Structure formats: C-alpha cells, structure tokens
Copies of this chain bind each other. A is one copy, B any other.
Amino acid sequence: MSAAALFNGAPAPDLALHRGLHYGDGVFRTCLIYRSQIIDIQEQCDTLNTDAARLGIASVAAPELAREAGELARGHDRAVLKMTLLRAGTARGYRPDGRAADRLLCRYLAPVFPAAAWERGVTAVRSSFRLAAQPALAGIKHLNRLEQVLASRDWPPGTDEALLEDEAGRPVCGTRTNLFWVSAGVLHTPVLDRCGVAGLMRRKILALAERTGLKTDIRAGTWGELDAADEMFLTNSLVGIWPVAACGAWRRPAPGPVTRDLMEQLRHPRLVQP
C-alpha cells in the first residue's frame, strides 16, 4: 500500500503554481495512524489551526478535517498521516491576497525502527547546524523546513537524530524531535520562543509531568547542562518517547527511571521492525 493524498477532499491535484510550493506558505502536523485510528486527532486538528492562525491562514473545521483524515486512516494498522493547511492561491507574488486555506492530507507507510530504540535507547549527535532566530515563526510547524533538510544531510552512520542549537549555541531540539533531559529529578526542555518547533508530543509530556508531580523547567539550557544530565530523551508524534543512550561522549543506560516512568504512562504504540 503506497502513499495517498487528498487535496480539499479530492485526489490528484495540480499544485505546480500553488503558493504552498512556491513559498512554503502553510503549516502541517504529522500524526500516527494506529489500528485505523489517528492518535490525538482532535488535538492535532486544533494545533494545526492554531499554527495556521499565526500565519494569517483561515482555520478549517476540525470535524471535517478529522472525518477526511479518518477516511485515509481506515483499514491501516500502522501508517503516517500528514495534515497540511496551505494558504490558497496560485498567483505569483509573496503578498497574500487572503486567508483562505486549502487542505492537503497525505498518508504514508509508517517508518519502522528496531525495538532497541525504545528498549536500550537511540544515538544522537550534536550538530554544528544553528537554527536562525525568528520569533515570528518560532514554535510553528510550517512548511519552510530547509534548515532541517540541511541539518540532516551529513549524519555519521549509526545516528538516529541530530541535536540542533540556537544562535547563541544552546541546544534546542532534534531535526524532527523535541528534546528533554532529566537532572536531579527535574525534567528540562528548551523554550521555543526564538526557533524550534513545538510538537504535540512535547505538550503531552509536559502535561503528563504536571499530572504526576514531576517538576519541569522550560528554558534555554546549555550543552554543559546536557552533558551533565542523568537522562535524556526525544519526542515526536510518531515515536512517542525515544530514550537517548548516547550523545557524543555522554552515555547512560537507557531508558533511565524518569524516562521509563513517562513511557509507561504514555503507552504510545511502537513502530517496531517486524
């Protein structure tokens, strides 16, 4: 079963002139399809609309979006759904002439990973790529993703994720994951007000921490703090929580106790290699 796409509910769009392609004028969410259901579909639709609003793009009725997404998910045990809202328009010129949105829903085969990724942790590297500071776009999952493309070009073999830094040289996130670490029983994650993408899984983890009384600290940290961390993990809506076992010289048995506890509470399906 290969990839499939629906554009405003219909197949086979001609997007050659669309401003989504020419300017990246849109936002997206990546969701996990598990047993024909889309995990967190309501929150994903809401966040998609919230991000769209920051670009001045009209929202799409969440029930309609969820219904169309459900059609693509039906009959799929594990797959990936990407929901995209694009500012409508095919005229040339940066200046938007409205807020109308086109919706693009794409279904892909789910990636699979060795079970060891969750059971013994993944390997991250510290990338030398620095994310630009742009408060107007920070936190939004938008279609301008060249930084992530460039940052993931030259990974050493055996790398599962690269960690990126901000303009001041502080760790921010992975190329496709949010970053957390645990120090002295406190859960840390970088603030994302100048760069980085605020994933839905990041929000879920922070809510989970709050519910369970785990103290959290959301602010810019340093590589030194990361080097001294007791535990480290990465999150996104596909993998859930990936414990980190190695990041450069940093090595820890993974998952550590706090990470393991969060994973058990999260109960996220695993995309395990058969």
Q: Could you list which residues of chain A lie within 8 angstroms of chain B, going by C-beta atoms? A: 3, 5, 7, 12-18, 20-25, 28, 30, 55-56, 80, 82, 84, 87, 90-96, 104, 106, 108, 111, 129-130, 132-134, 136-137, 142-153, 155, 167, 175-176
Contacts and interface: CB of A to CB of B under 8 A. Distances in A.
Nearest to A175: B94
A23 B80 contact: no
A129 to B, nearest CB: 7
Contacts of A155: 95
A144 B24 contact: yes
Q: What are the nearest 7 A-B pairs in CB distance?
A: A132-B132, A144-B144, A132-B134, A5-B16, A24-B24, A95-B152, A23-B145
A148 B15 contact: no
B145 A145 contact: no
Contacts of A104: 16
A238 to B, nearest CB: 10
A22 B143 CA distance: 6
A16 B9 CA distance: 13
11 contacts: A5-B17, A16-B106, A17-B106, A23-B148, A25-B145, A25-B146, A95-B153, A96-B149, A96-B153, A143-B146, A144-B145
Contacts of A146: 23-25, 55, 137, 142-144
Contacts of A84: 22
B94 A149 contact: yes
Given A15-B15, A16-B7, A149-B96, A132 B133 contact: yes
Contacts of A106: 16-17, 92
Given A94-B175, A150-B136, A153-B95, A143 B16 contact: no
A22 B94 contact: no
Query: A23, A55, A94, A175 — which one has the most chain B CB atoms within 10 A of its CB?
Result: A94
Contacts of A92: 3, 30, 80, 82, 106, 108, 111
Contact of A13 (B14, B94, B133): B14
